[in-house]
Amino acid sequence: MRGALASLGAVAALVALWEAAVRFIPISPNLLAPPSAIAEALALHPALLLEHGWATAHEALLGFLLAALAGMALGAALSASALLRQALMPFVLALQIVPKMALAPLFVVWLGVGAPCRMAFAIFIAFFPVLIGTMAGLAGTESGALRLCRVLGASWWQTLWRVRLPYAVPQLLAGLKTAATMALLGVVIGEFVTAQQGLGYVVMFGASLGETALVLAAITLLCAIGLVLYGVVLAAELAFGLWYKAPLPAGEFA
């Protein structure tokens, strides 16, 4: 509670300082709109912002979920097979090293300018942190625990679910937290390039008209969507913690 209050106090102080600076220092509202103007833009254009915000939010959420599933599946496969890891990791690393914006036009050529293009780009950006988090977490399993599983006759699936995955949870969740923000970034970049809807489009449209307050209102909603996605991962972290703190049922490996 103290941490939450401290964060809220810091935000309130920053907003008050921002408002005072814009009002008492000769700064053009076209350069930096005050928080009161941003609140006014939110109040004047609720339908517009909610419509475009929903388009961005559901594409970012779907992109994040698909990137999480793909990253965890491939991470588990690469951890299980050294040959597969040696064969595929150079390609995965090459795709990660290439600047993402340089590939954005190719996604437009391949998938057009609709939602599939933006979601594919979000998956492409968010995939790698989940993959690395999964591989690092699974590789961190204690060798003694794995030997115990072999002695008890546990199957590969039982070992993964009851031993390796609990060890991997901290690293996996760290990758998911990064992926949640990267998926939103991927959707917004796609909206910059292709979209006629979404908050990224609102930002570009508002900037072209010099409507700084509208641009900052859209960015405020983007921050809110990012916090919600991050909160989804935090809820998953809590669920994992409650699940794996429970004692193993008797005869689990029988």
* Domain-embedded: residue 202: yes
* Domain-embedded: residue 4: no
pLDDT digits (tens, 9 = 90+) for 70-118: 999 999 899 888 899 888 888 888 888 888 778 888 888 888 888 888 8
* Domain-embedded: residue 100: yes
* Distance from C-alpha of 38 to C-alpha of 222, rounded to nearest angstrom: 14
Q: List the helix and strand counts (H, then E) for the chain.
A: 11, 0
* Domain-embedded: residue 2: no
Q: Are 29 and 22 in contact (CB under 8 A)?
A: yes
* Domain-embedded: residue 12: no
* Domain-embedded: residue 68: yes
Instruction: Residue 174: give the domain boundaries.
Output: 54-245
Which pLDDT value is given to residue 168? 85
pLDDT digits (tens, 9 = 90+) for 28-74: 777 888 899 999 999 999 999 999 999 999 999 999 999 999 999 99
pLDDT digits (tens, 9 = 90+) for 11-26: 888 889 988 888 888 7
CATH of the domain at 133: 1.10.3720.10
* Distance from C-alpha of 148 to C-alpha of 191, rounded to nearest angstrom: 51
Q: Are 106 and 53 in contact (CB under 8 A)?
A: no
Write the single-letter amino acid at 44.
L
Which pLDDT value is given to residue 252? 42
Strands annotated E in the chain: none
Which pLDDT value is given to residue 245? 58
* Distance from C-alpha of 145 to C-alpha of 150, rounded to nearest angstrom: 9
| pTM for the predicted model, two decimal places | 0.85
Annotate 22-48 with DSSP letters as a single string. Answer: HHHTT--TTTS--HHHHHHHHHH-HHH
Number of domains in the chain: 1
* Distance from C-alpha of 2 to C-alpha of 26, rounded to nearest angstrom: 37
* Domain-embedded: residue 197: yes
CA distances from 89 to 82, 127, 201 (A): 10, 13, 35
